[in-house]
RNA sequence: GCGCCUGUAGCUCAGCUGGAUAGAGCAACUGGCUUCGAACCAGUAGGCCGGGGGUUCGAAUCCCUCCGGGCGCACCA
């Protein structure tokens, strides 16, 4: 409701300003610092003051006199040096909120969001959790605003990391294919590979000659033949299954898994290579350190034309680098490659949703993916250099529009707090101990595994639930504890803005008090309980609550403020999307919960004697409940039945 | 050296892309459970928004500069 009023006001004021002054300005609506100033504030006079070279206050006064009446606004007044404060028609606002008036969703083309992208060679860790939760929440925000979204999780199943685990099994552990297959079918295969990967990595540092095994393995994988290639497939497929399972625990699902193996087999790169050469986006270096390589000139992606900065796309031995493959993949996402994958059903989620993976054999699955109009790549900020190169590639090919619509949805890494490192027995240098956070290495097998963290959170939540609800069955308690734990985790990962490094600390992550997911859940449960415990059937609000009733009840300033708070969700989603910041969404949900909690303490709904007021309070409670649940849905947090 | 990010309460962070008296949570202190469940609430205390210049009606926010911290800058992904 709030959002639709906002859009009415901005468009009417903008139209007036355009006609009256011949100036086109974006009209901004702010929330006054003090509620006594009114519900909305327009700083438009300040914006106009620059162009008109007149005092803001005079312009504001003039605007108020000349602006035609706006539906829903009862009063306008000049305040401060030139603010225009608006007071709303409370009863009309409430009536519209009751009717569920919303802004029509905008329809644009398909948006592709790529996230998670974990190397399929070891268990997921907390850094991957941030990526997936950020990506998944952004997807939910986009969908809540009416966009069509496709979620992709890219699988690099032919890379060095997978090869290293294969080297570990084959050369170090001397395992047969059958043995590896058996291990892959057993639980916690991702944990086993986590350790094996670390062991192989450290083996290389002492035995440089072993790097030859890696080269052989990579070669075999690329050729797609022999025992080593088969091992790679077993490992990668089994680990992908582990990752999907971990992500499903968090409510994160995907539409399609484009895999690097098909990018290779279906000659995506060859096609892109032709185009890059044809349009002179890359050139063959005739001399210098990159002699014999196809390179993208530095000037295309950096503010330098230094030859040393040129990026190699095709190595002197003719093989393509990661960036090259990524350019091909990015082109496919926009439907620019003139090629598509085949697809096969990878698996079906418990709710019936189907997940497809790319395939190189023609199948009858009639599914089409890719060819989006806008692409968000959720990748941590350490890869911004490579993302810049990919975008520069599109630009060099002449795809300027697509380059502009390729968005690196970057975020900072998840490091560990020194305290948590100590808990995990990670050796720290004296220098590290002084830092606020320490970056840990997956290659060394250090870090916090995603499933371990989730297990620990569930354990914690279980303790609380068990203590409060001895009467419930163990299964019900476990279910509630799981929902609370996941809510806590998702909120924790979301409450930091993208540019903030998370110094992961067990104590903080395991906290269920204050600005946390459980706080929001608790408020929602309370709203639900009031409605549940109200004896008779809930009244039919739409017929009982008339404009008269609203204008009587809304003379209470606090109640009016609660209505405003409980009708802002759509506006909040919109703003968070514009800012590209899921953290704003999380914060809004928290503030909404705070607002309801205040209402909860200020008004006794069930014991209210005045019948008319009670119906009104019930409706307000219901309004809070539905908005809180929707907000949690956007955050991907599921409700426990009790807590 | 070049590029990107960053410095706000004791700690962890917001601050809606220039607006009114800079906000939360944690920790600390004082209170509140026979109430729609205290995973909560009310209150107290805590800030030269890293320093200095500039832009203007107005700066935590934009520009310059200095200081401090992080991350990138492979024929690895």
Is the CB atom of residue A587 positioned under 7 angstroms from any atom of strand B?
yes
Is the CB atom of residue A381 positioned under 7 angstroms from any atom of strand B?
yes
Is the CB atom of residue A146 positioned under 7 angstroms from any atom of strand B?
no
Rg of chain A's alpha carbons, rounded to an integer? 29
- ipTM, 2 dp: 0.96
Alpha helices for A145-225 (secondary structure H) = 160-167, 177-185, 189-206, 211-223
Domains of chain A as residue ranges with CATH: 2-88 (3.30.1360.70), 111-126+144-253 (no CATH), 258-411 (3.40.50.620), 517-634 (1.10.730.10)
Q: Which residue is nearest to nucleotide B56 (CA to C1')?
A: A50
Is the CB atom of residue A465 positioned under 7 angstroms from any atom of strand B?
yes
pTM: 0.95
Which position has the token pair 């009840």? A553
Is the CB atom of residue A182 positioned under 7 angstroms from any atom of strand B?
no
Give the separation between CA A411 and CA A388, rounded to whole angstroms: 15
Of the listed ranges A267-281, A287-301, A383-397, A541-555, the least confidently predicted one is A287-301
Cβ proximity of A33 and A116 under 8 Å: no
Is the CB atom of residue A496 positioned under 7 angstroms from any atom of strand B?
yes
pLDDT digits 0-9 by tens, A161-188: 999 999 999 999 999 999 999 999 999 9
How many angstroms separate the CA of A500 from the C1' of B6? 8
The two tokens of residue A548 are 């008269």
How many angstroms separate the CA of A124 from the C1' of B3? 30
Give the separation between CA A115 and CA A153, rounded to whole angstroms: 5
pLDDT digits 0-9 by tens, A6-51: 888 988 888 888 888 888 887 888 888 777 788 898 888 888 887 7
Is the CB atom of residue A58 positioned under 7 angstroms from any atom of strand B?
no
A136: Cβ–Cβ under 8 A, 6 or more apart, which residues? Answer: A115, A151, A250, A251, A252, A253, A636
Nucleotides of B under 7 A from a protein CB: 2-6, 11-17, 19-21, 23-27, 35-37, 39-42, 57-58, 69-77
With a cut of 90, say whether residue A436 has pLDDT above it: no
Give the separation between CA A123 and CA A189, rounded to whole angstroms: 8
Distances (CA, A) of A31 to A89, A190, A518: 16, 49, 28
Supply the pLDDT for residue A365: 65
With a cut of 70, say whether residue A364 has pLDDT above it: no
Cβ proximity of A384 and A499 under 8 Å: no
């Amino acid at each position: 409701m709030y959002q639709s009023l906002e859009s009415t006001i901005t468009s009417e004021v903008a139209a007036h300003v355009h006609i009256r002054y011949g100036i086109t300005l974006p009209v901004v609506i702010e929330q006054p610092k003090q509620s006594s100033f009114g519900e909305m504030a327009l700083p438009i006079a300040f914006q106009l003051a620059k162009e008109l070279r007149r005092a803001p206050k005079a312009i504001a006064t003039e605007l108020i006199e000349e602006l035609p009446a706006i539906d829903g606004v009862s009063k306008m007044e000049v305040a401060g040096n030139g603010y225009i404060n608006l007071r709303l028609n409370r009863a009309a606002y409430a009536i519209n909120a009751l009717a569920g008036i919303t802004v029509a969703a905008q329809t644009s083309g398909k948006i592709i969001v790529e996230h998670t992208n974990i190397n399929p060679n070891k268990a997921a860790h907390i850094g991957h959790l941030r990526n997936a939760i950020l990506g998944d929440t952004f997807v939910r925000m986009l969908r809540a605003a009416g966009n069509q979204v496709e979620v992709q999780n890219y699988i690099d199943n032919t890379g060095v990391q997978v090869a290293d685990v294969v080297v570990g099994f084959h050369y170090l552990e001397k395992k047969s294919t059958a043995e590896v297959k058996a291990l892959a079918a057993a639980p916690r295969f991702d944990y086993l590979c986590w350790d094996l990967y670390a062991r192989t990595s450290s083996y290389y540092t002492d035995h440089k000659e072993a790097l030859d095994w890696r080269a052989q393995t990579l070669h075999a994988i690329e050729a797609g033949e022999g025992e080593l290639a088969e091992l790679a497939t077993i490992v990668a497929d089994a680990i992908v299954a582990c990752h999907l399972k971990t992500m499903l625990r968090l409510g994160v699902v995907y539409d399609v898994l484009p895999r690097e193996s098909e990018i290779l087999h279906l000659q995506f790169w060859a096609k892109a290579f032709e185009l890059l050469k044809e349009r002179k986006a890359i050139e063959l270096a005739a001399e210098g350190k990159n002699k014999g390589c196809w390179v993208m000139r530095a000037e295309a992606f950096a503010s330098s034309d230094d030859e040393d900065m040129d990026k190699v796309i095709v190595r002197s031995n003719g093989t393509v680098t990661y960036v090259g493959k990524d350019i091909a993949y990015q082109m496919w996402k926009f439907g620019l490659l003139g090629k598509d994958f085949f697809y096969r059903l990878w698996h079906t989620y418990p709710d019936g949703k189907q997940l497809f993976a790319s395939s190189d054999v023609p199948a009858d699955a009639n599914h089409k993916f890719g060819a989006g109009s806008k692409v968000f790549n959720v990748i941590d900020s350490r890869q911004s250099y490579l993302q810049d190169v990919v975008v520069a590639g599109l630009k060099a090919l002449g795809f300027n529009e697509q380059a502009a619509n390729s968005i690196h949805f970057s975020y900072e890494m998840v490091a560990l707090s020194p305290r948590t490192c100590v808990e995990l027995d990670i050796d720290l240098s004296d220098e590290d101990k002084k830092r606020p956070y320490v970056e840990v290495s997956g290659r060394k097998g250090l870090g916090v595994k995603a499933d371990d963290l989730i297990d620990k959170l569930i354990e914690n939540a279980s303790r609380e639930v068990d203590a409060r609800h001895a009467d419930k069955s163990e299964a019900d308690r476990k279910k509630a504890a799981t929902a609370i734990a996941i809510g806590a985790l998702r909120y924790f990962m979301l409450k930091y803005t993208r540019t903030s490094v998370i110094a992961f600390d067990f104590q903080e992550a395991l906290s269920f008090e204050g600005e946390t997911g459980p706080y929001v859940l608790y408020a929602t449960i309370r709203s639900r309980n009031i409605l549940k415990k109200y004896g008779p059937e809930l009244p039919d609000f739409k017929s009982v609550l008339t404009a008269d009733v609203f204008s009587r009840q809304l003379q209470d300033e606090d109640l009016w403020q609660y209505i405003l708070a409980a009708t802002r969700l759509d506006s909040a989603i919109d703003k968070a999307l514009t800012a590209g910041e899921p953290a704003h969404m999380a914060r809004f949900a928290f503030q909404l919960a705070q607002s309801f909690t205040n209402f909860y303490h200020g008004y006794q709904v069930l014991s209210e004697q005045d019948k008319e007021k009670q119906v009104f309070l019930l409706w307000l409670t219901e309004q809070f409940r539905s908005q809180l649940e929707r907000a949690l849905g956007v955050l991907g947090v599921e409700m426990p039945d009790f807590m």
